């Protein structure tokens, strides 16, 4: 049984107060065992994980996949880049995940300033699990024009094996194709013969499954699937969640389209951004009430996981779990998966999605693909702060707003806290180097200028 | 009674004015700004006739209570002396009748010559302001930052973090030296500084000789125990002759409490004297002549040395990196101060000369500046006086705080509207540093942030002009590809107010591609 400290106790008693209030007025029955303090009386199950089978290799993949992009960090030394991966914590999370049935780990040479693969290699090696007990997914992340040659591409793959301390990759992805359109795809994979080489490695067994992850121009997606006879995609990684399913944000492609195209061809789908980098868990109070009303004991995030896990052609759902609580909660959601009813699915895709979209947040998932900005801006820091203020009602429309003074202070003081002044939006030169890197197709300079103008109005009192 | 009243009022006043000097949020200024403005020298320099009349009248009525109640430097000395827990630590010494007018004269000459800061070295309020501003304010800010950290933890916005940085080594050294000298003098001799060096003490002393109410000794009641003399921090009680040097008495009331025989009183002197004479004559007949005690010798030489030490002491373009991995931050180089041919002084200062003449370098504006724009100058002819520079921030359009807090009229009060129309300088473009002038990259951050719209981005090239729809076209009225030309900032100097937004927000480091050149005389646009 977990030891509870005073803080947990207070937090839990708060939850109890809230839930008992709801229970008093509602009639919803709970199917979760809670003790009188509101703790889960059952341990997080170690043997109930839902698995999906890869039709080609027969791999039994846990429905929860571990994304290696949002790793826990700690501060070491001075300087702006003093946040390093907290490997001890990473190891602890890895061991816990493996012990609870998670067996799919998804990394990339680009993640975490290039340190993600190495960290995964260390974590898996120290876990004591044999190589056939888990599956490693990594990517060919040749984004920079300096990496577009065949030799550079091969080098990236060979380095991945070295860092991951293995001689084969279970799942290899062409990383984030679609951005920059067909031209970019050709430059990165087709003209230089890299894709042919990767297919050869698949033949040799150094790559067990070959696929691609997609963001951006749907023409690329369609082209790659249209050439499936040639490339034989073993899996495809797509962004899907209940607010992107129909009428996706901005220039994103509807999840329903991407998914059905795969289902049609019998290609399993790996899901990324089921939570949109926390945007579907850090929601306004209004949305929390809306979701919790149905299942007060379940987390807000669990709805997103159960939603996408309920789609049968999903092989695994990736989540970048920084904290043990996230990991525990997500394991619960899939141990085993309790599929959503049709009514519940419609309720999420329709009403709930509309409610969330009614808050004018910027669709930034804090993936940091845009970073580092050559001029030193903390782009995700700025956008995440703005979104947080939108959700908390701290983005007043005018000075006439009822909470104007309080909201103004919260926005400005919080801004300086979240982002050092020299890295704030006022320093954007509109060079647009970040724009092609954003998987969500956000017009970053435009948003930064909009936020900067808003900040100026708050500061000058001219809103 | 006098002593207790003084203690209460002096401590309240001292604490509040110290808060005023360290507060960076402008909360204190709203309520306590007057505390700096009723100080003698600030009132004199800003020709604040009302305050001057009040202070003169106060001194003519009660003596130098200004020095004991209102002057923060005076109270600071009392506090330092209080820490020396020793009874009977002082003794009478004659006044330095030569030194006192010399210091007044020196200060006057320095002021007349336009060296406000030089005179400010010995002006009590500005000396105190410097001590607090450079030595205490950073500690106050650090304490605030600790609270801000705690507040952040609890998602409270009650406190916010501020930068703590060394604004000027010169000012720090001066403040530290001033504090050491005054502390040593106060420790050894109480109000030596006030009664020898301080020009305000000397001037008020001339008035307080004629004060209506004074401390008087009743020689008839006096048993010559000398407790009053030995506890007089002003060293002004000559018990030998039962006389008090009223030019040096700061009306602290300590002697009144020390006297167990009721021989001292605070009142109207001629009346008491008259009574005293009658009693004295009567007593003389009865009592034997008092036994003479020798006063503790005073180390005059050492004192002189200390005083003279006080005088002596007075005397590259951002480069985009090849991005192969995600996350992390580019290193941001610190900005460096450009060589400005003319210094910039804050709006309201009217001109560089006005600031130089009226500012006594009390540092109040510098510590109030929320944008880290003001810092003490290191140049000799305006040493420690505020100077504007934009390495850490710029003079924001919604701020007029320095003009509101200045007690001496060196920076005259201006409203927000006036402030954005005062031209303190103009922007100068440096082609060699400018990104879009040298590469085919967009920027325009200076133009975007110019509060008066004095900067516009213009494509370079012969025959390029705006068509009637405002689009840039070539000689044959064909739209041009803005990505294939250098789009450079051009400055309309007439509209520029010299706020430094362009210089501060220019992405080029350490030297910006656009900087502000100060104007000797400000004007309105």
- Give the separation between CA B422 and CA B43, rounded to whole angstroms: 25
Long-range contacts of B479-483 (CB under 8 A, 24+ apart): B482/B442, B483/B440, B483/B442
Residues B123 and B245 occupy one common structural domain? yes
Share of chain B above pLDDT 90, in %: 57
User: How many CA within 13 A on the CB side of residue A223?
Assistant: 13
Q: What is the DSSP letter of B48?
A: -
Q: Does residue A23 form part of some domain? A: yes
Residues A184 and A271 occupy one common structural domain? yes
Quick one: how many helices (H) and strands (E) in chain A?
Answer: 18, 12
Compare CB distances from B322 to A79, A144, A369 and report the shortest one's residue.
Answer: A144
Q: Does residue B241 form part of some domain? A: yes
Q: Does residue B376 form part of some domain? A: no
pLDDT at B277 (0 to 100): 63
H/E stretch holding B436:
helix B435-438
- Indicate whether A5 pLDDT > 80: no
Residues A334 and A404 occupy one common structural domain? no
Beta bridge partners of A32: none
Residues A277 and A233 occupy one common structural domain? yes
Residues A201 and A266 occupy one common structural domain? yes
pLDDT at B318 (0 to 100): 45
Q: β-pairing, B455-459 with B487-491? A: antiparallel
Beta bridge partners of B423: B523
pLDDT at B269 (0 to 100): 66
> Two tokens at B88?
């009977």
Share of chain B above pLDDT 70, in %: 90
Neighboring chain A residues of B331 at a CB cutoff of 8 Å: 79-80, 376
Q: β-pairing, B472-473 with B465-466? A: antiparallel
Q: Does residue A367 form part of some domain? A: no
* B96, B80 Cβ separation under 8 angstroms: no
Residues B310 and B448 occupy one common structural domain? no
Q: Which of A23-27, A42-46, B450-454 has the highest mean predicted lDDT (pLDDT)?
A: B450-454
Phi/psi for B483 (5° steps) reads: -80, -10
Q: Does B279 touch chain A (CB under 8 A)?
A: no
Q: Does residue B330 form part of some domain? A: no
User: How many CA within 13 A on the CB side of residue B355?
Assistant: 33
- Give the separation between CA B308 and CA B489, rounded to whole angstroms: 55
Q: Does residue A219 form part of some domain? A: yes
Query: How many structural domains compose chain B?
Result: 2
CB contact under 8 Å between B326 and A410, yes or no, is no
* A383, A447 Cβ separation under 8 angstroms: yes
Residues A28 and A116 occupy one common structural domain? no
Residues A287 and A421 occupy one common structural domain? no
Q: Does residue A80 form part of some domain? A: yes
- Indicate whether A11 pLDDT > 60: no
- Give the separation between CA A17 and CA B297, rounded to whole angstroms: 78
Give the CA distances from residue B157 to residues A118, A346, A454, A458, B153, in Å, rounded to whole numbers and listed in that order. 40, 40, 19, 16, 10
Residues A154 and A95 occupy one common structural domain? yes
The 10s digit of each residue's pLDDT in B9-50 is 999 999 999 999 999 988 888 899 899 999 999 999 888 999
- Give the separation between CA B481 and CA B472, rounded to whole angstroms: 9
Q: Does B327 touch chain A (CB under 8 A)?
A: yes
The candidate with the shortest Cα–Cα distance to B356, out of B119, B106, B37, B36, is B119
Q: Does residue B492 form part of some domain? A: yes
In terms of CA atoms, which chain A residue is nearest residue B145? A417
Compare CB distances from A376 to B326, B330, B393 and report the shortest one's residue.
Answer: B330
The 10s digit of each residue's pLDDT in B479-512 is 888 888 899 999 999 999 999 999 999 999 999 9
Compare CB distances from A375 to B161, B330, B396 and report the shortest one's residue.
Answer: B330
Q: Does residue B336 form part of some domain? A: no
CB contact under 8 Å between A423 and B329, yes or no, is yes
Range of the domain at A407: 379-460
d(CA A217, nearest CA chain B) in Å: 21
Q: Does B326 touch chain A (CB under 8 A)?
A: yes
CB contact under 8 Å between B330 and A146, yes or no, is no
The H-assigned helical ranges of A71-214 are 87-99, 111-114, 116-127, 150-164, 181-185, 194-204
Q: Does residue B381 form part of some domain? A: no
CB contact under 8 Å between B505 and A460, yes or no, is no
Phi-psi category of residue A165: left, alpha or beta, with phi > 0 → left and psi -120 to 50 → alpha? left
CB contact under 8 Å between B328 and A372, yes or no, is yes
The residue-averaged pLDDT of B320-344 equals 85
In terms of CA atoms, which chain B residue is nearest residue A376? B330
Higher pLDDT, B111 or B292: B111
The candidate with the shortest Cα–Cα distance to A312, out of A260, A258, A234, A272, is A260
Residues A74 and A95 occupy one common structural domain? yes
Q: Does residue A46 form part of some domain? A: no
Q: What is the DSSP letter of B432?
A: G
Range of the domain at B483: 426-525
Neighboring chain A residues of B397 at a CB cutoff of 8 Å: 460
Residues A16 and A57 occupy one common structural domain? no
Q: pTM of the predicted model, to two decimals?
A: 0.77
Neighboring chain B residues of A421 at a CB cutoff of 8 Å: 393
Compare CB distances from B328 to A113, A410, A422 and report the shortest one's residue.
Answer: A113
pLDDT at B104 (0 to 100): 94
Look at residue A18 and give its three-state secondary structure.
Answer: helix
The candidate with the shortest Cα–Cα distance to A67, out of A122, A108, A115, A106, is A106
- Indicate whether A29 pLDDT > 90: no
* A–B interface: beta-carbon pairs under 8 A: 111
The residue-averaged pLDDT of A408-413 equals 93
Q: Does residue A371 form part of some domain? A: no
Residues A334 and A453 occupy one common structural domain? no
Q: Does A114 touch chain B (CB under 8 A)?
A: yes
Query: Worst-scoring range by mean pLDDT, A6-15, A399-408, A417-426, B493-502?
Result: A6-15
Query: How many structural domains compose chain A?
Result: 3
Q: What is the ipTM of this complex?
A: 0.75
Neighboring chain B residues of A109 at a CB cutoff of 8 Å: 325
In terms of CA atoms, which chain B residue is nearest residue A84? B328
Q: Does B442 touch chain A (CB under 8 A)?
A: yes
* A348, A242 Cβ separation under 8 angstroms: yes
Q: Does A453 touch chain B (CB under 8 A)?
A: no
CATH code of the domain in which B514 resides: 3.30.70.20
- Give the separation between CA A172 and CA A205, rounded to whole angstroms: 12
Q: β-pairing, A64-67 with A60-62? A: unpaired
Phi/psi for A157 (5° steps) reads: -65, -45
Q: Does residue A220 form part of some domain? A: yes
Give the CA distances from residue B373 to residues A133, A416, B360, in Å, rounded to whole numbers and listed in that order. 61, 18, 19
Residues A331 and A402 occupy one common structural domain? no
- Give the separation between CA B215 and CA B401, rounded to whole angstroms: 43
Give the CA distances from residue A458 to residues A415, A424, A450, A463, B387, in Å, rounded to whole numbers and listed in that order. 12, 15, 12, 6, 27
CB contact under 8 Å between B329 and A378, yes or no, is yes
Give the CA distances from residue B338 to residues B334, B388, B514, in Å, rounded to whole numbers and listed in that order. 12, 12, 10
Residues A35 and A63 occupy one common structural domain? no
Compare CB distances from A416 to B160, B396, B507 and report the shortest one's residue.
Answer: B160
> Two tokens at B488?
């450079």
The candidate with the shortest Cα–Cα distance to A357, out of A262, A202, A249, is A249
- Indicate whether A255 pLDDT > 60: yes
- Indicate whether A229 pLDDT > 50: yes
Tally of CB atoms within 10 A around B128? 27
Beta bridge partners of A61: A52
Q: Does residue A117 form part of some domain? A: yes
Contacts with A, B 366-425, CB within 8 Å: 393, 396-398
Neighboring chain B residues of A114 at a CB cutoff of 8 Å: 324-325
The string over A406-438, giving b where at least 16 C-beta atoms fall within 10 Å of a residue's C-beta and e elsewhere, is ebbebbbbbbebbbeebbbbbbbbbbebbbebb
Residues B15 and B134 occupy one common structural domain? yes
Q: Does A207 touch chain B (CB under 8 A)?
A: no
Q: Does residue B403 form part of some domain? A: no
pLDDT at B310 (0 to 100): 37
In terms of CA atoms, which chain B residue is nearest residue A378? B329
The residue-averaged pLDDT of A452-459 equals 94
Look at residue B441 and give its three-state secondary structure.
Answer: coil
Q: Does residue B274 form part of some domain? A: yes
């Amino acid at each position: 049984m977990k030891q509870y400290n005073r803080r947990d106790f207070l937090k839990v008693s708060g939850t109890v107060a809230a839930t008992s209030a709801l229970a008093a007025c509602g009639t919803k029955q709970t199917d979760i065992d809670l003790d009188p303090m509101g703790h889960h009386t059952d341990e997080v199950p170690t043997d109930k994980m839902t698995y999906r089978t890869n039709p080609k290799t027969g791999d039994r993949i846990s429905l929860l996949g571990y994304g290696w992009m949002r790793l826990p960090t700690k501060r070491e030394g001075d300087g702006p880049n003093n946040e390093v991966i907290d490997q001890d914590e990473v190891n602890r999370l890895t061991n816990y995940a493996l012990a609870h049935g998670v067996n799919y780990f998804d990394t990339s040479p680009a993640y975490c300033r290039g340190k993600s693969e190495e960290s995964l290699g260390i974590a898996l090696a120290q876990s004591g699990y044999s190589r056939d007990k888990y599956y490693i997914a990594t990517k060919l992340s040749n984004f920079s024009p300096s990496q577009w040659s065949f030799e550079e591409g091969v080098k990236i793959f060979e380095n991945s094996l070295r860092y991951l301390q293995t001689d084969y990759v279970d799942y290899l992805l062409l990383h984030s194709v679609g951005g920059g359109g067909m031209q970019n795809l050709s430059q990165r994979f087709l003209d230089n013969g890299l894709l042919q080489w990767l297919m050869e490695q698949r033949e040799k067994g150094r790559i067990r499954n070959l696929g691609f992850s997609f963001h951006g121009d749907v023409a690329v997606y369609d082209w790659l699937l249209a050439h499936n006879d040639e490339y034989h995609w073993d899996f495809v990684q797509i962004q899907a969640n209940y607010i992107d399913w129909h009428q996706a944000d901005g220039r994103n492609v509807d999840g329903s389209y991407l998914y059905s195209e795969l289902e049609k061809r019998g290609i399993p789908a790996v899901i990324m951004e089921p939570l949109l980098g926390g945007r579907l868990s850090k929601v306004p109070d209004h949305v929390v009430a809306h979701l919790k009303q149905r299942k007060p004991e379940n987390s807000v995030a669990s709805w997103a996981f159960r939603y996408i896990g309920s789609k049968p052609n999903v092989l695994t759902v990736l989540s970048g779990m920084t904290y043990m609580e996230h990991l525990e909660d997500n394991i619960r959601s899939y141990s085993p998966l309790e599929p959503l009813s049709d009514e519940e699915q419609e309720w999420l895709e329709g009403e709930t999605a509309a409610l969330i979209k009614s808050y004018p947040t910027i669709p930034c998932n804090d993936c940091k693909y845009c970073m580092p900005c050559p001029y030193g801006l903390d782009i995700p820091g700025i956008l995440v702060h703005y979104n947080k203020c939108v959700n908390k009602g701290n983005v007043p429309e005018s000075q006439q707003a009822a909470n104007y003074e309080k909201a103004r202070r919260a926005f400005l003081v919080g801004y300086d806290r979240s982002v050092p002044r020299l890295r704030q939006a006022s320093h954007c030169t509109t060079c647009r180097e970040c724009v092609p890197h954003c998987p969500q197709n956000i017009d970053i300079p435009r948003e930064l200028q909009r936020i900067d103008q808003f900040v100026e109005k708050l500061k000058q009192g001219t809103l | 009674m006098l002593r207790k009243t003084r203690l209460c009022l002096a401590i309240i006043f001292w604490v509040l004015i110290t808060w005023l000097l360290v507060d960076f949020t402008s909360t204190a200024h709203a309520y306590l700004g007057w505390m700096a403005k009723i100080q003698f020298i600030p009132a004199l320099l800003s020709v604040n006739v009302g305050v001057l009349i009040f202070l003169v009248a106060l001194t003519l009525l009660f003596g130098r209570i200004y020095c004991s109640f209102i002057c923060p430097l005076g109270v600071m000395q009392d506090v330092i002396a209080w820490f020396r827990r020793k009874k009977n630590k002082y003794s009478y010494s004659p006044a330095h009748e030569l030194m006192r007018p010399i210091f007044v004269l020196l200060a006057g000459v320095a002021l007349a010559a336009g060296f406000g800061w030089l005179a400010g070295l010995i002006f009590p309020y500005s000396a105190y302001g410097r001590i607090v501003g450079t030595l205490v304010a950073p500690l106050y800010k650090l304490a605030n930052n600790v609270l801000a950290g705690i507040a952040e933890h609890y998602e409270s916005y009650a406190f916010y973090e501020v930068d703590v940085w060394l604004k000027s080594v010169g000012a720090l050294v001066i403040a530290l030296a001033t504090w050491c000298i005054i502390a040593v003098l106060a420790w050894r001799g109480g109000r030596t500084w006030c009664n020898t060096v301080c020009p305000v003490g000397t001037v008020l002393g001339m008035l307080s000789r004629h004060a209506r109410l004074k401390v008087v000794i009743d020689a008839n009641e006096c048993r010559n125990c000398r407790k009053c003399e030995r506890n007089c921090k002003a060293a002004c009680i000559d018990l030998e002759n039962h006389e008090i040097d009223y030019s040096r008495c700061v009306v602290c009331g300590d002697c009144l409490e020390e006297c167990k025989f009721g021989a001292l009183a605070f009142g109207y002197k001629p009346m008491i004297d008259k009574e005293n004479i009658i009693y004295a004559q009567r007593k003389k007949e009865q009592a034997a002549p008092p036994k003479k005690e020798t006063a503790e010798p005073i180390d005059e030489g050492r004192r002189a040395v200390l005083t003279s030490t006080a005088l002596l002491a007075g005397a590259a373009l951002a480069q985009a990196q090849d991005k192969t991995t995600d996350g992390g931050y580019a290193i941001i180089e610190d900005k460096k101060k450009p060589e400005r041919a003319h210094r910039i002084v804050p709006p309201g200062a009217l001109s560089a000369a006005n600031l130089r003449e009226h500012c006594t370098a009390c540092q109040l504006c510098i510590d109030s500046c929320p944008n880290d724009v003001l810092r003490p100058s290191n140049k000799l002819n305006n040493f420690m006086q505020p100077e504007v520079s934009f390495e850490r921030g710029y003079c924001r359009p919604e701020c007029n705080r320095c003009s509101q807090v200045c007690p001496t009229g060196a920076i005259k009060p201006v409203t927000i509207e006036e402030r954005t129309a005062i031209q303190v300088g103009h922007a100068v473009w440096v082609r060699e540093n400018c990104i879009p002038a040298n590469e085919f990259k967009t920027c325009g951050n200076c133009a975007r942030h110019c509060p008066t719209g004095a900067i516009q981005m213009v494509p370079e090239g012969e025959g390029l002009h705006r068509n009637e729809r405002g689009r840039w076209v070539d000689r044959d009225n064909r739209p041009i590809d803005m990505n294939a030309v250098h789009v450079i900032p051009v400055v309309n100097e007439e509209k520029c107010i010299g706020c430094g937004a362009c210089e501060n927000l220019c992405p080029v480091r350490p030297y910006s591609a656009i900087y502000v050149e100060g104007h000797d005389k400000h004007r309105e646009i």
